[in-house]
Amino acid sequence: MRPEVRLTVLTGAGVSAASGVPTFRGPQGLWKNYPPEQLATADAFRRDPRLVWEWYNWRRELVAKCEPNAAHRVLAAWSARYHGFKLITQNVDGLHERAGTRSVIRFHGSIWEVLCWSRCAAAPARWRDETVPFPNIPPSCPHCGGLIRPGVVWFGEGIDPVVLEQSFEATECDLFLVIGTSAVVYPAAGLASQAARRGAITVEINPEITPATSSADLSIQGRAEEVLQELERLIQEGSALRP
């Protein structure tokens, strides 16, 4: 591909699976038999902030031990090589950034950011806190002493309008890759269609068939880390499809 190609990538949990991060859905994503939908909500936090923070503390400890895998590394290399590269991730683990990826749009926020639950005037809108593990559960706001919450988008909450706008702008591209996501959660699931309407070639990379498979220009079934390494090899040899 030419360095000037406008390449946008949408990633989901499948990209981080090889790093040991459990997928958000399915049996491996369960914690103490709680499905995520019962924990990742404002109502759940309101009812039992300790329980919710015990789950997030466990996830932070787990992710802190994980390393970026080959998929993250290939995407980081592409972000440096292709001037029009944009990456939209549904993942909150921060592994893309740790791999050195540039131009990351965090669609669902970050597990490494927190904000004051009561939105106290003394606290910034959100801030980074990499404490692992928290000495006290639930952790408190250093500005007002109240509760803090994870800086992620919970079920029932809307996507940050700025992030949504950045994501829609990123669909103005030549090539749109959808990697490791089930393509069932909107509005992220609609981004590939938006890119296609704008004239982009759309490619899906996933081990399984998804609801987006039939609408993609090309569907490649395989693990993200394996497929991306092979694509990078073909690009280096000059035999990958263009633009």
Which residues does the annotation mark as catalytic? 108
Question: What is the phi/psi pair of residue 148, to 5°?
Answer: -110, 160
Sequence-ordered alpha helix ranges (H) in 20-160 = 42-47, 49-64, 70-81, 95-98
Dihedral sign of CA atoms 57, 58, 61, 62 in order = negative
Reported as type and span, the H/E element at residue 175 is strand 175-179
What strand order describes the sheet that includes 127-128?
Answer: 127-128, 109-116, 148-152
Whether the Cβ atoms of residue 206 and residue 36 lie closer than 8 Å to each other: no
- Residue with tokens 């693990």, as numbered in its chain: 223
Give the whole-angstrom CA distance, residue 22 versus residue 3: 34
Whether the Cβ atoms of residue 49 and residue 147 lie closer than 8 Å to each other: yes
- Residue with tokens 């982009």, as numbered in its chain: 200
Q: For residue 220, how many other CB atoms are within 10 A of its CB? A: 17
Give the whole-angstrom CA distance, residue 73 versus residue 95: 10
27: CB partners within 8 A, 6+ apart: none
